[in-house]
């Protein structure tokens, strides 16, 4: 691991492009530890968004399929940026073509497009882990509800789940054992937003092979993986990948769906109208081919323009190796400081080894007041921004922790490459004071 001084020097350079990190309140900078939810943006992304509004603020410029409705100066410029963005997203995940990329508002919308668009039949099963994010659970529960209605069978079970290791790590044997000849979809989170655990690439490849053998498809939720590691869809052998651009230094409300072209093009469109159509008549409609058939109405052109700089910043300017090295160093520091504090009223979730938890560390307690106190004191004393609650993995937390009455009392700190070891220490000092003297801080109980 690099020396502290190297990491510190790197951090200063890596922080420089982020205007939000140069703000201060009460003479102190922000400590932004909510990167799992959304990351900050570097100046180059902000400038790109501003350029759209200042220089070529036009509509409908982006399609690469030759069906654009305007041909003029502004629109030509916008179309160039849009093509660059789709190319950047395609190369990021090693798609076969930019036409395999659909713009969405976020990973949730991308997953909804797949869950809504697949032709499922009663008898088909959808498989996931016990810890899927609501965005990779609820769209499938809705697919289950639709199938029940069609089959006229309110008890039809369509979605099944397999268990993880006791500590939350991935268990390939359990996942493989859950795949049956009826498995039509494996919808799996690549990395957990709760505890950062990652499904190893080898396991993904093995699962993809097995799912294809039984005639199913593999939908990978990459919301927490693409911002942190190289994801090569062809190498992994998956069929769809959903991710969010706003979790990788990009504009808010931008996401992407990648799909193998034949499968993507065969999906029923989800939100329709606007630019999704090739032509309409009073009584019928002919849809465009992918990706246009999924991009209804005017798009977030500013967001699209900001997407290529975001991808290039993460992948080329910073690079996944640096991201990995820094997240490991930061999470190791947080773990070294927080793990020894574990006691009957405070503990950590997920595997012990920070190398298994990406940039995420999540604390839990029976006491909601203790968790509230950490968040409140962190905010008031040091501008620490963390997240508290169930992190959209309610189903897993209920299943595992309802019995200890701690399902709702969690607090997550998630780091990215621009965080520093000093920030980890400031936060750990606060947690230590509160955990060692809880009664001094429980006034908001």
Ligand X SMILES: Cc1ncc(COP(=O)(O)O)c(C=O)c1O
Catalytic residues: 392
Q: Which of 244, 331, 335, 420: binder of ligand X (CB under 6 A)?
A: 244
Of 38 and 44, CB closest to ligand X? 38
Contact (Cβ atoms closer than 8 angstroms) between residue 168 and residue 349:
yes
Of 161 and 261, CB closest to ligand X? 161
Of 198 and 264, CB closest to ligand X? 198
Q: Which of residues 18-57 bind ligand X (CB under 6 A)?
A: 37
Q: Shortest gap between Cβ of 107 and ligand X (angstroms)?
A: 4
Q: Which of 31, 40, 85, 107: binder of ligand X (CB under 6 A)?
A: 107
Of 244 and 331, CB closest to ligand X? 244
Q: Shortest gap between Cβ of 37 and ligand X (angstroms)?
A: 6
Question: Is 221 among the residues that bind ligand X (CB under 6 A)?
Answer: yes
Place of tokens 């409140």: 376
Segment contacting ligand X by CB under 6 A, of 130-138, 147-155, 159-167, 420-428: 130-138
Segment contacting ligand X by CB under 6 A, of 165-173, 179-187, 219-227, 311-319: 219-227
Of 58 and 224, CB closest to ligand X? 224
What is the x/- site pattern for ligand X, positions 192-211, by CB under 6 A? -x------------------
Q: Shortest gap between Cβ of 110 and ligand X (angstroms)?
A: 8
Q: Which of 136, 331, 335, 362: binder of ligand X (CB under 6 A)?
A: 136
Segment contacting ligand X by CB under 6 A, of 128-136, 138-146, 155-163, 434-442: 128-136
- Residues in the interface with ligand X (CB under 6 A) total 14
Residues in touch with ligand X (CB under 6 A): 37, 106-108, 133, 135-136, 189, 193, 221, 223-224, 244, 255
């Amino acid at each position: 691991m690099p020396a502290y001084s190297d990491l510190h020097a790197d951090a200063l350079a890596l922080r420089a492009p982020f205007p939000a990190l140069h703000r201060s309140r009460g003479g102190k900078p922000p400590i932004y530890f909510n990167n799992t939810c959304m990351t900050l943006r570097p100046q180059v992304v902000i400038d790109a968004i501003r350029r759209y509004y200042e220089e070529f603020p036009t509509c409908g410029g982006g399609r690469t399929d030759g069906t654009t409705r305007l041909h003029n100066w502004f629109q030509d410029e916008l179309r160039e940026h849009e093509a660059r963005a789709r190319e950047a997203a395609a190369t990021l995940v090693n798609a076969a073509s930019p036409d395999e990329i659909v713009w969405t508002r976020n990973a949730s919308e991308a997953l909804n497009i797949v869950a809504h668009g697949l032709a499922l039949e009663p008898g088909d099963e959808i498989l996931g882990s016990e810890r899927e994010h609501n965005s990779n659970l609820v769209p499938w529960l809705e697919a289950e509800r639709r199938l029940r209605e069609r089959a006229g069978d309110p008890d039809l079970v369509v979605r099944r789940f397999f268990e993880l290791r006791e500590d939350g790590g991935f268990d390939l044997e359990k996942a493989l054992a859950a795949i049956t000849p009826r498995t039509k979809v494996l919808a799996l989170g690549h990395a957990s937003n709760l505890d950062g655990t990652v499904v190893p690439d080898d396991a993904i490849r093995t699962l993809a092979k097995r799912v294809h053998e039984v005639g199913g498809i593999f939908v990978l939720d990459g919301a927490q993986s693409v911002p942190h590691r190289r994801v090569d869809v062809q190498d992994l052998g998956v069929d769809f990948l959903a991710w969010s651009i706003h979790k990788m230094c990009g504009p808010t409300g931008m996401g992407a769906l990648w799909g193998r072209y034949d499968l993507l093009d065969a999906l029923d469109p989800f939100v329709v109208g606007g630019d999704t159509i090739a032509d309409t008549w009073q009584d019928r409609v002919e849809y465009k081919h992918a990706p246009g058939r999924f991009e209804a109405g005017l798009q977030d052109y500013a967001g699209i323009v900001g997407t290529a700089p975001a991808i290039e910043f993460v992948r080329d300017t910073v690079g996944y190796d640096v991201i990995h090295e820094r997240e490991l160093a930061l999470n190791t520091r947080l773990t070294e400081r927080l793990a020894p504090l574990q006691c009957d009223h405070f503990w950590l979730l997920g595997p012990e080894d920070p190398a298994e938890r990406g940039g995420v560390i999540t604390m839990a307690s029976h006491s909601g007041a203790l968790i509230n106190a950490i968040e409140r004191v962190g905010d008031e004393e040091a501008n620490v921004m963390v997240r508290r609650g169930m992190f959209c993995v309610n189903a897993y937390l209920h299943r595992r922790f309802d019995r200890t009455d701690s399902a709702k009392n969690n607090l997550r700190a998630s780091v990215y490459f621009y965080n520093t070891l000093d920030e980890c220490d400031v936060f750990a000092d606060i947690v230590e004071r509160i955990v060692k003297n809880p009664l001094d801080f429980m006034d908001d109980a």
